[in-house]
Amino acid sequence: MVVMTEIKEQGLIDALTEVVEVSNQDLIQENANVDGASPMGQMSKFGSEAAKFFAKEKLLSEEVVRMMEENFIHPHDLDFYPTGTTTCAQIPLGKILKDGFNTGHGFMREPNDIMSAMALSSIIFQSNQNMQHGGQSYPMFDYDLAPYVEKTHKKHLERLQSYPTNWTETELDDIAWQETDRSTYQACEAFIHNCNSMHSRGGGQVPFVSINYGTDTSKAGRMLMKNLLQATKAGLGNGETPIFPIQIFKMKQGVNFSETDPNYDVYQLALETTAKRLFPNFSFIDAECNIVHYNGTKESEVSYMGCRTRVMDNRHGDNNSIERGNLSFTSVNLVKLGLVATSLDDFYYRLDRVLDVVIKQLLERFEFQAKKQAQHFSFLYGQGVWKHSETLQATDEVREVLKQGTLSVGFIGLAEALVALTGEHHGQSTKADELGFQMISYMREKVEQASKQYDLNFSLIATPAEGLSGRFTKKDRATFGMIPGVTERDYYTNSFHVPVYYNTRAIDKINVEGKYHNLCNGGHISYIEVDGDVTKNTQALDTLVKAMAKANIGYGSINHPVDRCTSCGYTGIINTSCPTCDNHDEEKIERIRRITGYLVGDMKKWNSAKRREESERVKHQGK
């Protein structure tokens, strides 16, 4: 026992040494959104490695630790486990703005115009980021801010009416709306700049934020969305592509889907913007997994976090995202199960055992989180971010609030697991695809059983594997060697995705992956890779978005190259040299790519496995 403890402690010392020496890119850049080489990044990583050590030694059961060490499971954000934080939250922006809030240094009253409202929206994001370990989102950005566009219009109109003029009321109203339009653009521009410049967590990173919008058909709501998209399209001060907020455009039949829909023009602008800036992504209210929750109200429209997290089903309240979030999630290494299984029956037997351990671990973590007091998370609960949290006293446990969140079981490497079991992945054969669907269906049934048994919101998430993508693979390769189609690459394929290196048509990839979205109620996303300058062909993007909708995809995104020359500011596609200034220096070329649902300002911050994965992504041709 003493020897084992010494080995573990030496492992911690070795990891901390690598942080100090900045010698292990994969360690210090597990999260590409954090500058791991900066002083605050290093301090954060120091704390992270020590907290993981503490969690394994003091908080996790022996069975869970053994499953981790054997490479079957991975509890995400283990470093935050000792703090009792939750993963993410869908923030009720409209309510918080209207009621006002306190960040700990004074009360912020309700804003009186869109400029102030957008500024406070940034502050809410920044304040809340320090309360949790994952992302945060505004689920109804357009609806929540439209009233402050209206207030701005009223202020402009009252000012104009005070002037001695011969203008009619209609003319004054038109001028007031024109001035409101300019004010709204400036507010949106400032909001985007704030999201890319404010820092949280001791200065280690900008807040990880998302916004959902697209369905408000009011004049004020439409004005907000148009200006937000235009400001995004314009980019930051030197033309840089904004990394945050992750923008999710909600698609809905009768609202923005067809030419006769009231927000169709906003959707067209969204296509133009994603063609230049990679955002917005697109969610689909009418998808099978989302329409079941829709009752005609804005609150029941699906809302996603940027990477993919989805929080809808709720055994303890309304089935919507608002004022709720994910508590924690743990992923299963399907590839390892496929490699050790002696038969398909043996695979399911082993999967069942692993899922039992994951569910147990999620319950143990929930119990730890639930015993925390409201005062430990002053903004998260004191300002009403979570449903009914405003009723808690400072020393109250947060159990009754947190039980409305989700506990998610994730998975990685369906494609490689299928190759290990059948010799082909689900993009290659119908038989493998049918087996893959059965496997994920089995996992969904298992979490449904856990939900009923424990009266908590267990869900199945298609894991957004960033650091995990390479970590699982490295350990399995050390055990099983180099196996073609399984461990031969430096990464495992994310969740249920068809491998990025597999050459297939866009429509085929969409149709294969679409049916898995309904199974993964805790979150999902599908990507299509396109080549060339898509700003000149937004019709192709429209075709892909409509194909996603038809295939029952709940949340989708379109990837394409976005490069920027830091010498002259050119933004577009750069091969070996900048087409404007002929710059050949790769260090002066910023290559923006999507990593797991969000963007990173420079691929140099990616870990080695994700860089290799990106280099092998094929372009999906055809419809």
Structure confidence at residue 617 (pLDDT): 78
Mean pLDDT is highest, among 40-44, 296-300, 615-619, for 296-300
- pLDDT given for residue 609 in this prediction: 64
Query: Which residues, in sequence order, are bridge partners of residue 200?
Result: 205
Amino acid 88 reads C
> Which among 250, 170, 252, 257 has a CA at the least distance from the CA of 214?
250
| Vertex 212 angle, CA 375 and 545, to 5° | 150
Cα gap 229→232, rounded to integer Å: 5
pLDDT digits (tens, 9 = 90+) for 528-546: 999 888 988 999 999 999 9
DSSP 492: P
pLDDT at 48: 77
Q: What confidence tens digit (pLDDT) does each residue in 243-282 have?
A: 999 999 999 999 999 999 999 999 999 999 999 999 999 9
Enumerate the H helices of 292-343 as residue ranges: 334-340
Task: Please identify which residue in the block is written with the tokens 């917005």.
Answer: 280
d(C-alpha 111, C-alpha 209), whole Å = 21
Tokens of residue 9, six digits? 């402690």
Contacts of 615 (CB under 8 A, 6+ apart): none
Q: Which residues contact 337 (CB under 8 A, 6 or more apart)?
A: 72, 347, 350, 351, 354, 417
* DSSP structure class, residue 34: S
What pLDDT is stored for residue 1 in this prediction? 45
Is the model's pLDDT at 65 over the cut of 70? yes
Reply yes or no on whether the pLDDT at 32 is more than 60.
Answer: no
Tens of pLDDT, residue by residue over 79-99, are 999 999 999 999 999 999 999
As a whole number of angstroms, the distance between CA 146 and CA 298 comes to 13
pLDDT in tens, 392-425: 999 999 999 999 999 999 999 999 999 999 999 9
Q: How confident is the model at residue 3 (pLDDT cuts 50, 70, 90)?
A: very low
Residue type, position 261, single letter? D
Instruction: Give φ, ψ of 107 to 5 degrees.
Output: -90, 135
According to the CATH classification, is domain 92-310 in 3.40.30.10? no
Residue 10's pLDDT is 67
Residues 101-156 have pLDDT tens digits of: 998 778 999 999 999 999 999 999 998 988 888 889 999 999 999 999 999 999 99
Which helix (H) or strand (E) segment is 209 a member of?
strand 209-213
Rounded CA gap, 73 and 400, in Å?
A: 28
> Maximum Cα–Cα distance for the chain, whole Å?
90
pLDDT category of residue 508 using cuts at 50, 70 and 90: very high
d(CA 320, CA 318): 6
Residue burial 176-207, b: 16+ Cβ < 10 Å; e: rest: bbebbbebbbebbbebbebbbebebbeebbbb
- Relative to beta strand 136-138, strand 89-90 is parallel
Confidence bin at 470 (pLDDT 50/70/90): confident
Candidate from 25-39, 489-503, 534-548 with smallest mean pLDDT: 25-39
The whole-number pLDDT of residue 600 equals 64
Residue carrying the six token digits 């954060």: 44
User: What is the pTM (predicted TM-score) of this model?
Assistant: 0.92
